[in-house]
Copies of this chain bind each other. A is one copy, B any other.
Amino acid sequence: MRQHRLSLCGEHFLEWFIARTERFIEKYGMFGPEDRVLVAVSGGKDSLALWDVLLRLGYDVRALYINLGINGQRYSGESKARVERFAVEREGADFQVVDVRQAYGKSVPELASEKWGRKVCSLCGLVKRHIMNRMACEGGFAAVATGHNLDDEAAVLFQNVIHWQTGYLARQAPVLPSTHPRLARKVKPFFRFYERDTAAYALLRGIDYIYDECPYAEGATTIFYKELLNQLEARSRGAKQQFYLSFLQARQEEGLFSRAMEELELGECVRCGQPTTAPGLCAFCRLWEMS
């Protein structure tokens, strides 16, 4: 926690981390004690730490694990085992599983192999967003929570700025409100934590998580942007946080990217009924249509 100029022992770090998460949940109006929250877990440090913290804070939380079928079930299998072990060790840690292959007929890599020119990571993101939203809406959850940390958010911001993708810049946020009855609120309670903090929390708490990056993420652009931002942070402590927070502030105070926001009009997919900006089928349903 060099950016906070704090030195804490393990026990106090855990307390500090939990209290800070609660403060951000409240400050940014993510959800309240009365809300049912669906936390998306991958088996990695961030999402398992989030699940742990939300349980300790007494929120009404249930986890969702999406089996993407990465590496012939090997990577996904190991991830799922971490989720199962986590749940066994904790009271009230309920979770549900959606297996993409069972539900839709193909794993994400199988789907990707049929889609020329589409990257696995981009397809995977689309599939996960669709399923998270569907499970949240069908289950009557008030919000979907994901474990994105500050390093994740800053890297995405960086990528969006390098390409001046104003539509994405308009919508990147720690809280995405529901703008349609079938669109769940999305929240990121860890968005103010550096990655090293969420890793420290998981380690100190003794959470057994999957260390390896997804094999498809190797050489991914996001990882490259993270490395550039790490160089920035190494030169100027707190730079990453300042980059992201001053973006949120400038957008809020000066209405930046508001025009790109206005352009979004939501219809409903004729097949699955989920909100979409596309006419006819949503991007998710088009995936399966064409293959």
- Chain A residues with CB under 8 Å of chain B are 161-164, 166, 224, 228, 231-232, 235, 239, 242-243, 246-247, 249-250, 254-257, 259-260
Whether the pair B161, A161 counts as a contact (CB closer than 8 A) is yes
**Could you tell me if B260 and A254 are in contact, using CB atoms closer than 8 angstroms?**
yes
User: A239 — nearest CB in chain B belongs to which residue?
Assistant: B162
**In contact, A242 and B166 (Cβ under 8 angstroms):** no
Q: A232-B228, A255-B259 are in contact. Are A250 and B166 (CB under 8 A)?
A: yes
Interface of A is mostly: helix
Residue of A163, A246, A256, A257 with most chain B CB atoms under a 10 A cut-off: A256
Neighbouring B residues of A162 by C-beta, 8 Å: 232, 239, 242-243
New A-B contacts (10) at CB < 8 Å, excluding given A162-B243, A164-B243, A256-B256: A163-B242, A163-B243, A164-B247, A164-B249, A166-B254, A224-B235, A228-B228, A228-B232, A254-B257, A254-B260
Check B228 against A166 for contact (C-beta < 8 Å).
no
Q: Which residue of chain B has the shortest Cβ distance to A243 in the bound complex?
A: B162
Chain B residue at minimum C-beta to C-beta distance from A255: B259
CA of A250 to CA of B160, assembled, Å: 12
Per the bound structure, the CA–CA distance linking A58 and B255 in Å amounts to 45
A260 vs B253: C-alpha distance in the bound complex, in angstroms?
A: 10
Complex CA gap A228/B229 in Å reads 9
The smallest C-beta distance from A224 to any residue of chain B, in angstroms, reads 6
Question: Distance in Å from the Cβ of A64 to the closest Cβ of chain B?
Answer: 34
7 closest A-B pairs by beta carbon, nearest first, are A164-B246, A164-B250, A254-B259, A162-B243, A166-B250, A164-B247, A161-B161
Could you say which of B164, B231, B254 contacts A228, with CB atoms under 8 Å apart? B231
* Residues of chain B contacted by A242 (CB below 8 angstroms): 162-163
A231: nearest chain-B partner, CB-CB: B228
Known: A161-B161, A228-B228. A166 touches B235 (CB 8 A): no
- Cβ distance A218 to chain B, nearest Cβ, rounded Å: 14
Q: Is the beta-carbon distance between B256 and A166 smaller than 8 angstroms?
A: yes
How far is B228's CA from A239's CA once the two chains are assembled, in angstroms? Answer: 14
Q: Which interface residue of A164, A166, A242, A246 has the most chain B CB atoms within 10 A? A: A164
21 contacts between A and B (CB under 8 A): A162-B232, A162-B239, A162-B242, A162-B243, A163-B242, A163-B243, A163-B246, A164-B243, A164-B246, A164-B247, A164-B250, A166-B250, A166-B254, A166-B256, A224-B235, A228-B231, A228-B232, A254-B257, A254-B259, A254-B260, A256-B256
Q: How far is the CA of A232 from the CA of B159 in the complex (A)?
A: 11
Chain B residues with CB under 8 Å of A254's CB are 166, 257, 259-260
* Nearest residue, chain B, Cβ from A170: B254
> Which of chain B's residues have a CB closer than 8 A to the CB of A239?
162
Nearest CB on B from A172, distance (A) = 13
**Alpha-carbon separation in the docked complex, A242 to B161 (Å):** 11
